[in-house]
Structure 1
Amino acid sequence: MLSDSLLVLFFGRLTGGVSTTLLFSVFEAWMISTYHEQGLHTSGLELSTVFGNMTTLSCMVAIASGNENFGKRSSEQTSLQDLKSGLSAILGDAKIMSLGITSCVFEGTMYLFIFFWSAALASARSQVGSTDDLPFGLIFSSFMCAMMTGSAIFTLQTSTKTVQSTTDMLMTVTLVVACCLSLAAMLQNEHLLFWALCLLEGCVGAYFPSMAHLKSELIEDGIRGRVYSILRFPLNVFVVVAHSLDVEGKQAPESSPSSLTQTSSGGNN
């Protein structure tokens, strides 16, 4: 991140992609496998509850870090056979394929949101002629509070923890996020845009435990790790293609100044 060399930065993103894939696949696969191996379901501990609490705790840590500051090892080995078995599991099961498509589009959009929310809010503020800086730390903490609320709603609303109830939750939050993004692309009022983004973050908080619970129910332990890793590939492609369509700064269309794909003057790069 501190280097001025483009090659070094590209290499950093390459290794960052590998580490992110491991972060979003290895730990979750290990936790689900251990949950079943230890028979923790017999103790009354629901796996979906674990996912909900995990997201809530993650949000709490993020809230604290966003305050304003003005002053057992897996024996599986990676091989071509593993890749083929993982692809066969995905392509041979329509439910897993649906989860993969949803994950690609939803999480890919979430990554784009991470890149552009600050520039979108700054652009909306500039439309009224204000030159005051946005309280980005406070805004980020507000987003994390909304995300934590979404996680809590998932825990409360899916008390039966069935595949159907979790699927309904996932479909609902996906629809709401689509609406929020549509509004964010049209809204020019800073406050309305902020609340639309907060609602989006609340849906993200419900999405992660919902998706994790469905994957734990639909994907077998023996192939879980490789399937999770394969599902990350189209997500990364989605993000790369979407970013290749970005238009920044003064090149952005003046007719939609609050668009999420327009960065403000001196915005994020």
Structure 2
Amino acid sequence: MELFYCLAFGGLSMVVAALELSKTNKDRVAISSAFNSFKNNYLVVYSLAMAGDWLQGPYVYYLYSQYGFDKGDIGRLFIAGFGSSMLFGTIVGSLADKQGRKRACVTYCIAYILSCITKHSPEYKVLMLGRVLGGIATSLLFSAFESWLVAEHFKKGFDPQWLSLTFSKAIFLGNGLVAIISGLFANVLVDNLGLGPVAPFDAAAILLAIAMVIILPSWSENYGDPSESNDLIAQFKVAAVAIASDEKIALLGAIQSLFEGSMYTFVFLWTPALSPNDEDLPHGFIFATFMLSSMLGSSIASRLLARPTPKVESYMQIVFAISSFTLMLPTFTSFLVAPSTENGGSISFGGRILFFGFCVFEASVGIFWPSIMKMRSQYIPEEARSTIMNFFRIPLNIFVCIVLYNVSAFPITVMFGMCSIFLFMASILQRRLMVVAEIHRSRAQDWPSLNERDGETAPLNI
């Protein structure tokens, strides 16, 4: 069985390496040394920030169980994290637009460091406080860093096409390579060095502190719309009006919520799906293989984004359709493959099918992140970027909280089937986004000829 996972991991490694080495000149973009320096600085900081998050993932549940809490108590702690992200994340995101994105990134580091410190206490209230801080930090991680990057990229006058390069590299490193290394490093700290389940949280705090030390002197501050001194309520109104008045933004928010909601549900469900009879699974190996699949996806995305065709709006509808099929596999296999009745042992034949399907889903996740970043940079207005991005996370967090609360109320096939339907809906909405974007592009191209014919200039608000 170890050979099975080694072959899967090794095969994916060779595919990723082949994709990277086989890039043609068409896939590579000529860039300036100034941009290269800017990009590398951001990638170092983003990788450290993501490492601080990834190091904690494998041992959160285990640490809580070691403190003597049962599944219900642990479930409430997880709900507190997502609920905090939903309730406070939008407010913090709005403050990032108003008070500065650099400050928000520093706040992320501080909040997550404090969250890591709380893990030393076995007191439930202290751990709950840590989850609240972690929820706030998560909202900042997935909004403030991207908002700072986009604003700074254009402020420095870099080519818009180069932004896709930074996005794809950030996902390849931060959500791929760093995730694999973080998982292995956490395993070494806990199992090999015997430092206990709190050690990965201490390591995360150190890396976050290093990221903060780099940010403070090397990053300049940027804001939303500097011409307006909006209060928080006004900032919410600006974001709400932007979403309501622009179909592209509303579609993008719905697509993001549907995909990420399904993704976070998958994170909770893949273990029982692969081991319904408590089969002996090498969880670390499986996690590393999933992350390698995500790296494969981000490598594919970097090639796609470097080319003028196909457009990101076009190929993402295919990605969503494929991911929908992969999460329907647990339902299919429950009917087509005879379930194993033997407790323990190695992974079943049906489990192997699901494993490869889940690897394909993780590759879709790797394509999704840089692609959604690209679309957000095109469609979300700069003056309320962080606020709007956190608005998108409200339905996501509500959905995940509901799933966590009812995770044992429905069969696992029903939960996966629901996620598959959501992803199919995302594919349909992506198709609509592509049509709307093409209409706006054609109108923008028609305006110069219309103005020349009428002898006047009329700006088009796209």
Q: TM-score, normalised by structure 2?
A: 0.49
**SS of corresponding position for 1:103:** helix
Which of 320, 324, 329 aligns to 1:183? It is 329
| Offset from partner CA, 1:172-198 (integer Å, 9 cap, x none) | 211111111111344351110100100
Quick one: distance in 2 between partners of 1:169 and 1:12? 40
> Structure 2: which 5+ residue stretches go unaligned?
1-63, 65-118, 193-219, 225-229, 334-338, 340-349, 418-462
Q: Please tell me whether residue 41 in structure 1 is matched to residue 41 in structure 2.
A: no
The equivalent residue for 2:319 is 173
* Matching of residues 185-204 of structure 1 within 5 Å: 185-187=331-333, 189-204=350-365
Q: Measure how far apart 1:157 and its partner are.
A: 2.6
Cα 1:240/1:110, change in 2 over 3 Å: same
Is the 8 Å Cα contact of residues 147 and 201 (structure 1) preserved in structure 2? Answer: yes
AA paired with 2:146?
E
The equivalent residue for 1:246 is 407
**SS of corresponding position for 1:66:** helix
| Offset from partner CA, 1:178-227 (integer Å, 9 cap, x none) | 11111134435111010010000000000001100000011122221211
More helix by share: 2
Quick one: distance in 1 between partners of 2:140 and 2:271? 28
The equivalent residue for 1:25 is 143
Quick one: distance in 2 between partners of 1:51 and 1:219? 16
> Structure 1: which 5+ residue stretches go unaligned?
262-269
Quick one: distance in 1 between partners of 2:369 and 2:221? 25
The equivalent residue for 1:85 is 238
Is the 8 Å Cα contact of residues 56 and 152 (structure 1) preserved in structure 2? Answer: yes
Quick one: distance in 1 between partners of 2:265 and 2:142? 17
The CA RMSD over aligned residues, in Å, is 2.6
Q: Percent identity?
A: 31
Q: Please tell me whether residue 229 in structure 1 is matched to residue 382 in structure 2.
A: no
| Offset from partner CA, 1:39-79 (integer Å, 9 cap, x none) | 1118xx62112111111112011122334756423455761
Is the 8 Å Cα contact of residues 312 and 371 (structure 2) preserved in structure 1? Answer: yes
Q: Please tell me whether residue 65 in structure 1 is matched to residue 182 in structure 2.
A: yes
Q: Please tell me whether residue 143 in structure 1 is matched to residue 290 in structure 2.
A: yes
Q: Please tell me whether residue 95 in structure 1 is matched to residue 248 in structure 2.
A: yes
Quick one: distance in 1 between partners of 2:269 and 2:127? 20
Q: Measure how far apart 1:146 and its partner are.
A: 0.6
Larger CA deviation: 1-10 vs 230-239: 1-10
Cα 1:236/1:38, change in 2 over 3 Å: same
Q: Measure how far apart 1:106 and its partner are.
A: 0.4
Higher Cα Rg, which structure: 2
Q: Please tell me whether residue 115 in structure 1 is matched to residue 268 in structure 2.
A: yes
Quick one: distance in 2 between partners of 1:229 and 1:180? 28
Cα 1:208/1:78, change in 2 over 3 Å: farther
| Offset from partner CA, 1:246-267 (integer Å, 9 cap, x none) | 116xxx65xx789759xxxxxx
| Offset from partner CA, 1:127-164 (integer Å, 9 cap, x none) | xxxx66211111111111110111111122333357x7
Is the 8 Å Cα contact of residues 298 and 363 (structure 2) preserved in structure 1? Answer: yes
Higher relative contact order (CA 8 A, sep 6+): 1
Q: Measure how far apart 1:87 and its partner are.
A: 0.9
AA paired with 2:376?
K
Cα 1:56/1:220, change in 2 over 3 Å: same
**SS of corresponding position for 1:50:** helix
Quick one: distance in 1 between partners of 2:233 and 2:257? 23
Quick one: distance in 2 between partners of 1:111 and 1:217? 25
Cα 1:63/1:161, change in 2 over 3 Å: farther
Cα 1:158/1:219, change in 2 over 3 Å: same
Quick one: distance in 2 between partners of 1:27 and 1:157? 23
Q: Please tell me whether residue 16 in structure 1 is matched to residue 134 in structure 2.
A: yes
Is the 8 Å Cα contact of residues 184 and 197 (structure 1) preserved in structure 2? Answer: no
